[in-house]
Amino acid sequence: MDGRHDVLIVGAGHGGAQAAIALRQAKFEGSIAIAGDEPEIPYERPPLSKDYLAGEKPFERLLIRPAAFWEERGVAMLTRTCVTRVFAEAHSVETEDGRTLGYGHLVWAAGGRPRRLACEGHDVTGVHTVRTRADVDRMIGELAGTSHAVVVGGGYIGLEAAAVLTKLGKKVTVIEALDRVLARVAGEPLSRFYEAEHRAHGVDVRLDATVDRIEAEGGRVSGVHLVGGEVLACEMVIVGIGIIPAIEPLRAGGAVCSNGVEVDGHCRTSLPDIFAIGDCAAHASDFAGGATIRLESVQNAHDQANVVARTIAGGDDAPYHAVPWFWSNQYDLRLQTVGLSIGFDAAVTRGDPASRSFSVVYLKGGKVVALDCVNAVRDYVQGKALVVGGIAAAPALLADANIPLKEIAAR
């Protein structure tokens, strides 16, 4: 045994960091260690595709807490530590370099790895994903030699990167396999708005388009060959097509897994004394009609970490029940989402998209389940009550931007 900790946290992202912080706030006095496979201590990841890529925020400002914070609270940082095996009965894990670490409780907050293209040329120099500081540093190092970048995937990561690269003066093409951007997470009104915004900024948005292969010259990307034969000459490719949850060590160790490692209301896995939180945890959500889902958001990781800390420390035993929220910054647009639009059967546009300040309200069975708010902070703040309360509201009322949502919630 190369060390033992009362709580071993695997994953140095938002969830892992917050689990350690919350444990100390709950007066947990046992030993805590955070094991992360990167060389850095925990840092914020959402700014990577925005402020950090744009050069507007230095890495030091991304740190969740400075190094001294962790030292003062007795949280050991095991950097460059990749956990590859879990031995639930022995309460230990094995690392990639052959070390064995014991634990009293294990908190699995390993997130996921970027999904990569499976086509020819997917691994040539100049093809990037956006998940870690190292990923974005490589992109930044190639910007000077890049005039045209192709972004594969019209989700939030891809669109955020497209907005930053456009701001940096690059020609950008976005390739989306479906018939609209954001198709998996938003309704058509929001998709069409963002397509128009990106095109207005000079981005070439290609819908119903699929990559056949990546072409290269001298080992570097030189173009993207689309199904149908067209070749887009470029010096950089950014792939933003989702993540694969990092759960294989738990699955191999006997944990019940589906699209993630399955957890109960207190984020317990099926293995003794092992919890899972964040992007890799599949949990039943009241905001998804009780369906088991994974949520890739800072809010989810943060709030699940708090539940785990309270459970381990023996405090409040309330199960996880936090309304989901998300955000995205593109150009001068601030998108704030509350709730989950999964399975919605009606979408009401509130305000005029042409004004670049509006909301889309999603309903299911007549009840409000989510809102997408573009430069509409008041709707976002007031709309939360509609989502949490599952309040039924007439579409005509919701569409009238002159009626505050708080009034509708109070009716």
Q: What angle do CA 126, 129, 135 make, to 5 degrees?
A: 80
- Residue 410: the pLDDT is 77
| Per-residue pLDDT tens digits for 237-257 | 999 999 999 999 999 999 999
- Average pLDDT rounded to a whole number, residues 331-356: 95
The answer, yes or no, to whether residue 1 has pLDDT greater than 90, is no
Could you give the CA distance from residue 189 to residue 211 in angstroms, rounded to a whole number?
Answer: 26
- Residue 411: the pLDDT is 74
Owner of token pair 């093809």? 127
How many beta carbons lie within 10 A of that of residue 140, not counting itself? 14
Beta-strand relationship, 4-10 and 100-108:
parallel
Token readout for 255 is: 């944990």
Nearest to 66 by CA among 47, 48, 41: 41
DSSP secondary structure of 101-145: EEEEEEEE---EEE----SBTTTSBTEEE-SSHHHHHHHHHHGGG
Considering only the C-alpha atoms of the chain, give the largest distance between any 2 of them, rounded to a whole number of Å.
66
Listed in sequence order, the DSSP H helices in 225-376 are: 248-252, 298-313
- Residue 409: the pLDDT is 84
- Enter the pTM of the model: 0.93
Amino acid at 64: I
| Per-residue pLDDT tens digits for 176-195 | 999 999 999 999 999 999 99
From residue 4, how far is each of 30, 37, 88, 251, 264 by CA, in Å?
Answer: 11, 18, 14, 22, 26
Nearest to 249 by CA among 93, 84, 387, 33: 84
What region, left, alpha or beta, does residue 254 occupy, with left being phi > 0 and alpha being psi -120 to 50 degrees? left
- Residue 211: the pLDDT is 97
Residue 262 and residue 256 in contact, taking contact as beta carbons nearer than 8 Å = yes
The answer for residues whose C-beta is within 8 angstroms of residue 279's C-beta and 6 or more apart is 15, 111, 112, 243, 245, 260, 294, 295, 296, 300, 301
- The CA-to-CA distance between both ends of the chain, in Å, stands at 62
Indicate the average pLDDT of the chain. Answer: 95
From residue 73, how far is each of 3, 20, 24, 64, 65 by CA, in Å?
Answer: 19, 9, 7, 14, 11
Residue 395 and residue 363 in contact, taking contact as beta carbons nearer than 8 Å = yes
Could you give the CA distance from residue 22 to residue 302 in angstroms, rounded to a whole number?
Answer: 9
- Average pLDDT rounded to a whole number, residues 84-111: 97
Residue 237 and residue 139 in contact, taking contact as beta carbons nearer than 8 Å = no
| Stretch (H or E) spanning 262 | strand 261-262
| Per-residue pLDDT tens digits for 353-369 | 999 999 999 999 999 99
- Residue 105: the pLDDT is 98
The answer for residues whose C-beta is within 8 angstroms of residue 316's C-beta and 6 or more apart is 310
- Residue 315: the pLDDT is 73
